[in-house]
Amino acid sequence: MSELDEAWALALSEAEERARRTGRGDLAEYLALRNSNDLLRKAGVDWLVTSFVNHAGHANRAGASIQVSNTDGHRFRIGTSTMVGRLVTLTNGVRKISVEAGWPRTPRDGIVRGGGLAAANVLHLGIRSATEELLLTKTASGSPQWTSVIKKPHAFHESDIDRHLAILLDAHR
């Protein structure tokens, strides 16, 4: 968690406590929901990025030569909204996958469409058909879940990460 994220979480927590002390239960409930959603967003983005990096590491131990780079504070567009989050780039020779995941941070950034908490793109350089757009939602049990929203919508799992890495490593494609 960055210093800014930590400061934001602390500010939200303090604001929630002040709202409770002053009898503003409605505001306190909103701030508690906001804090809970921010934690789900962070957990979802961390899982997605870390999973891609870990799977690339497994492939490298098996003989691949994937280079990995990470960027925090990455800004990217989904529709008319701007997401702010993380970017991990996996490079294998001339092939490249960019995984960008985040959520709007300010009102001018817009919204996550479809009632999502966060959004992500899995972009394959030069292979548009392999690109995947993801939406982070909250399941009935309250846990975060990435869902692919392009083509046939489905829950996004580690097997999907393996599929993306197979495309990155496939020299015959």
The string of pLDDT tens digits covering residues 121-169 is 999 998 999 999 999 998 888 888 999 998 788 999 999 999 999 999 9
Helices (H) and strands (E) in the chain, counts: 3, 7
Tell me what pLDDT residue 18 has: 78
Instruction: Considering only residues 4 and 139, tell me which one the structure prediction assigns the higher pLDDT.
Output: 139
> Is the pLDDT reported for residue 88 higher than 90?
yes
Q: How confident is the model at residue 173 (pLDDT cuts 50, 70, 90)?
A: very low
Query: Which of helix, strand or coil describes residue 126?
Result: coil
CA 91 to chain centre: 19
Tell me what pLDDT residue 148 has: 94
Using CA atoms, how far residue 92 sits from 37, 53, 84, 123, 157, in Å, is: 35, 13, 26, 14, 22
Instruction: Considering only residues 4 and 108, tell me which one the structure prediction assigns the higher pLDDT.
Output: 108
* Residues of the chain above pLDDT 70, percent: 86
At 40-60, the pLDDT tens digits run 899 999 999 999 999 999 999
Tell me what pLDDT residue 2 has: 54
> Is the pLDDT reported for residue 114 higher than 90?
no
Average pLDDT over residues 93-99: 94
Q: Nearest Cα to 39, choosing from 12, 71, 15?
A: 12
